[in-house]
Structures are given as structure tokens and as C-alpha cells.
Amino acid sequence: MEETHHYASTTAADDHYSQAPGTPEPDVEFLTSGGRCIPAHSTILASVSPVLENIIDRPRKHGSSERVIPILGVPCDAVSAFVRFLSSSRCTDEEIEKYGIHLLALSHVYLIPQLKQRCTRGIGQRLTTENVVDVLQLARLCDAPDLHLKSMKFISNNFKAVENTEGWEFLQDNDPWLELEILQFMDEAESRRKRSRRRREEQKLYLQLAEAMDCLEHICTEGCTNVGPYDIEPTKKREPCSKFATCEGLQMSIRHFATCKKRVNGGCVRCKRMWQILRLHSSICDQPGSCRVPLCRQFKLKMLQEKKSDDARWRLLVKKVVSAKAISSLSLPKRKREEMKETMEDQGIKNFRL
């Protein structure tokens, strides 16, 4: 009959302990700092927590019937929420919001992975400049790498505000190693950002070059607006092609290349660029026999003659443009490739109708 006393001492929140018919009587209790006793079933506790199983089994071995498990230094209601989770595997968002930090610590100490996961996620969604330093330290103590990383990122992204909190001040005074770790993380995050920005810009360049390669082939085989092969009539419909922004620029460069007095060796930058584009085309062209792009075969021959000049940086550029070309062609309808009957003898720039 002693249990009745304990029931009376619990709050309404523990109502689910009111007996359903056939459920065994609670046979252990948790003692909280507030002096509250929260009843529970030893078999349930033992089945969800190996740590509690140990604690429950220990007195049995000594023949003692003492069944009180103290959980002190944690708010009583947090302990209630914890005990409720042990028997129902559930807790409310409100409980996570109010006691998430305590529940995380308890789930770590008593080895309850489901609760730990729930807390880690819940706390991670509720990070603030005020609590993030504490959460970071707790995540470290409780071995919660996801939450640790999330806190680090949060601090890194909101450093100006976090720097002014009491938590940060406390950290600076008491845990200079963690402070250093955070500053290092921010430094690395910054260089990660720079690296990916650079990679994005590079990728953009490769895509532009890949598009230029497509346009070059298209100008040299079908012709586009006013520029095209000398032996093919300009298309009746003078509508610009789908990539006209690139195509038009290329057409102007071709026109310039054909008429420039300085040319490549005279130090003309525009001609040099056009020269590189033609060389790039030749490097990726897989049909040099029937290709109508100027200088394609000449470049191929030259490459065969001087293999060593095929330097690593150029090869890398070619590789990147080829893969960018593959990427961009996935999103575009395949252009019909016209089979060229004749092999071109002279594919110099003078073959152009300009």
C-alpha cells in the first residue's frame, strides 16, 4: 500500500501511470532534486536502457529491495519527461523546447539512442545566439557530432552576434581550446566558401567554352545568320539560333580573325583567343576527317608531330570542357549532325562566307 503515497506525490503529468487493468504495479522510483518521486516499471527501464538495467540488477544481487534511482541536478519536470519517454518512447515538442538540453544529457548518460536523436534534432532546430555556445559544449560532452557541427556552423554564420553573448565570454575565460577550435573552423569555412566559389566560376567558364565549341561546329557546318561555310547558302529564315549570345560573339571573332592585319603573331589578343578556340575544338574533335572547322586538321597534325607539347594543363582544360559539353548536351536536344560527304582539303578561314 506504500505506493499510494508516491502516486500522490507525482504531478498530473505522470497520469499515464494510473493503472490500466493487467499492468503490473510500478516497482522502482526516480528521486529528483525537488524531492519528488516518480514511479516506474523496472522491466521497462531495463529493456530500454542498459545503464538502468545495471542499476536495477545491482541491489537484487545484494538481496536488497531498495528501488530508488536518484536523478539530481536536473529540473523535476525534465526527469518526468525523461521517465515518460522511457515507457512510451515519446516526448512532445514542448518538452524538447523546455528541457531538450537536460534530456540530451540524460539520454547520453543512460544510453537511450532514440531520445538522443530526438533531442539532437530538436535542439539543432532551436539554436539561438544566446544558447549556441552552451549547446556546443554539451554536444561535445554528450558526443553528439551532428549537433556539434550544426552549432559550429551556427556560430560561424552568426559570429558578430554570438561574440557579444555571456556564453562566449564564459567560453573565452574557461575554455580557450574550444575558442581556438571555433576560430579555426570559421577560418576553414571561409576558405571552403572561397574554394567553392572558385570552382563555380571555373565550371561556368568550362560551360561557356563548351557552348562556344557547339556554336563553332554549328557555324562551320550549317552556318548561322550571316556567317557560315562558303559553299552553303545562308539559311532563309534569319532567326538567330538558340545560343545566339555565344554564337554572335563567336561570329564576330571569326570575322575579325579573317580580316585582322596584326593576326596572332602580330600580338592581337582577339586573334589569339580565336586561335585558342580553334585549337580547343581540334583537341576535342572526334571527326577530323569530315570536320569543317578551320584549322582542325592542321592542329591535329601538329599535335601528332609534337606530342610533348601536349602539356598537362591543356589536357586538363580539354577534359573539363569535354565534360562540361557532356553536361550541357544533356539539357539540350541533340543537334542533327550532317554527314559531310567530301573531305575538306583546305579548311582555312578563307572557306568562310562572311
285 binds Zn ion (CB under 5 A): yes
Q: How far is the CB of 276 from Zn ion (least distance, A)?
A: 13
349 binds Zn ion (CB under 5 A): no
Q: How far is the CB of 243 from Zn ion (least distance, A)?
A: 6
State which residue, 28 or 278, has the beta carbon closest to Zn ion.
278
Quick one: which segment of 73-81, 146-154, 269-277, 305-313 binds Zn ion (CB under 5 A)? Answer: 269-277
Site string for Zn ion, 198-237 (x = CB under 5 A): --------------------------x-------------
293 binds Zn ion (CB under 5 A): yes
**Other C-beta atoms lying within 10 Å of the C-beta of residue 70:** 11
Q: How many residues does the chain have?
A: 354
Among the listed residues 103, 155, 291, 324, the single contact to Zn ion using CB under 5 A: 291
303 binds Zn ion (CB under 5 A): no
For the chain, give the longest Cα–Cα distance: 110
State which residue, 111 or 241, has the beta carbon closest to Zn ion.
241
271 binds Zn ion (CB under 5 A): yes
Scan for cell 592581337, then name that residue: 268
Among the listed residues 71, 247, 254, 280, the single contact to Zn ion using CB under 5 A: 247
Among the listed residues 296, 321, 324, 344, the single contact to Zn ion using CB under 5 A: 296
Cell numbers standing for residue 139: 554536444
What does DSSP say about strands 28-32 and 68-71: parallel, antiparallel, or unpaired?
parallel
Quick one: which segment of 78-86, 163-171, 289-297, 345-353 binds Zn ion (CB under 5 A)? Answer: 289-297
Among the listed residues 44, 205, 241, 284, the single contact to Zn ion using CB under 5 A: 241
Quick one: which segment of 15-23, 38-46, 74-82, 293-301 binds Zn ion (CB under 5 A)? Answer: 293-301
State which residue, 14 or 217, has the beta carbon closest to Zn ion.
217
State which residue, 105 or 293, has the beta carbon closest to Zn ion.
293
Nearest alpha-carbon partner for 37 in 65, 86, 3: 3
Quick one: which segment of 19-27, 162-170, 253-261, 336-344 binds Zn ion (CB under 5 A)? Answer: 253-261
State which residue, 9 or 298, has the beta carbon closest to Zn ion.
298
Helix 269-284 vs helix 176-221: crossing angle, to nearest 10: 90
Quick one: which segment of 47-55, 102-110, 126-134, 240-248 binds Zn ion (CB under 5 A)? Answer: 240-248
By CB under 5 A, the count of residues binding Zn ion is: 11
Among the listed residues 207, 260, 295, 317, the single contact to Zn ion using CB under 5 A: 260
Cell numbers standing for residue 38: 516518480
Among the listed residues 161, 268, 284, 318, the single contact to Zn ion using CB under 5 A: 268
Quick one: which segment of 14-22, 75-83, 91-99, 262-270 binds Zn ion (CB under 5 A)? Answer: 262-270
Q: Which residues of 129-165 are buried (b: 16+ CB within 10 A; e: fewer)?
A: bebbbbbbbbbbebebeebbebbbebbbeeeeebeeb
Quick one: which segment of 18-26, 92-100, 255-263, 326-334 binds Zn ion (CB under 5 A)? Answer: 255-263
Provide the binding-site residues for Zn ion, judged by CB under 5 A.
Answer: 224, 241, 247, 260, 268, 270-271, 285, 291, 293, 296
